[in-house]
Structure 1
Amino acid sequence: MGFLTRWAFAFVLLALTFNPTPYNYIQWVRDYGGTNLSVAVLLGLVLAIGYIIYLRATLRSIGAGGMVLVLAVVGALIWVLHDLGVLRLNNSSLNVWLGVLALSVVLGIGLSWSHVRRALSGQSDVDDVDD
């Protein structure tokens, strides 16, 4: 599973949770969660499992400082694109999608970082050893 696959799953996880369209978990819970409480709880738990997997792997591989650094690089890239006139930031829906994209890049890099480090250095990360 390559970086693009890991990033795509992170993007889908974040977009399913929240996006500027009416088709997301948060909006669905606001509108229908009271009448479908069991489904809302089940879907919330499934999303929580996805976040736990991604956040735990990201925190273990690049840490909180690495997450901030990757987010800063993505933010600087957006800033450069805006300064060059490639990107306009006056559309609030686009801004939300950019936020989802930026966070998914952080999670995708976090989940992939051990593979990148092994490819660059030839050294494996071993956090847990099974006997």
Structure 2
Amino acid sequence: MGLLLRWVFAFALLALTYNPTPWNFVRWSMENYDTSLSITVLMGLILLICYIVYLRATLRSIGGFGMFLVLAVVLALLWVLYDLGLLALDNRDLNVWLGLLALSAVLGIGLGWSHVRRRLSGQADIDDVDE
């Protein structure tokens, strides 16, 4: 349940930032930056902090190569679905949602990987003390 919740939060973060609907930060900020610049900056900084937390935890947990491997597995799965005829890639909006799904899988797995590894191996990760 914890890994699923981390993935849902990663997906929500990415979808709040950009998605093909009119309800996203990028589109809202482009339309309202001249009248609501302070709110735009505040929301942008909050999103940036959330991204830093997710990316730092993901890089510490699975590293850059692990991020690449998770993304490669998700993309290979999408390729298999396309080859089997279960997925059509001619819809731009669907492609954006699939991209959000793939990136959120990387962030969600990266954030929760230490917990998965601890359950599988019984060993806990220890952060560096000097930080």
Displacement after TM superposition at 1:129 (Å): 4.2
Q: TM-score, normalised by structure 2?
A: 0.96
The number of aligned residues is 130
Residue 78 of structure 2 corresponds to 78
CA distance in 2, matches of 1:17, 1:90: 23
RMSD: 1.2
Displacement after TM superposition at 1:128 (Å): 3.7
Residue 8 of structure 2 corresponds to 8
SS at match of 1:89: coil
Q: Deviations over 1:40-67 (max 9, x none)?
A: 0000011011101100000000000000
SS at match of 2:22: coil
Mapping of 1:34-73 within 5 angstroms?
34-73=34-73
Displacement after TM superposition at 1:84 (Å): 0.4
Unpaired runs of 5+ in structure 2? none
SS at match of 2:23: coil
Identity of aligned residues (%): 69
CA distance in 2, matches of 1:96, 1:9: 18
Displacement after TM superposition at 1:94 (Å): 0.1
CA distance in 2, matches of 1:122, 1:81: 35
CA distance in 2, matches of 1:39, 1:128: 36
Letter in 2 for 1:6: R
Q: Is it true that 1:110 corresponds to 2:110 in the alignment?
A: yes
CA distance in 2, matches of 1:56, 1:9: 15
Letter in 2 for 1:105: A
Mapping of 1:90-101 within 5 angstroms?
90-101=90-101
Q: TM-score, normalised by structure 1?
A: 0.96
Letter in 2 for 1:18: Y
CA distance in 2, matches of 1:22, 1:90: 21
Letter in 1 for 2:25: Y
Unpaired runs of 5+ in structure 1? none
Q: Deviations over 1:22-48 (max 9, x none)?
A: 110000111111210000000001101
SS at match of 2:20: coil
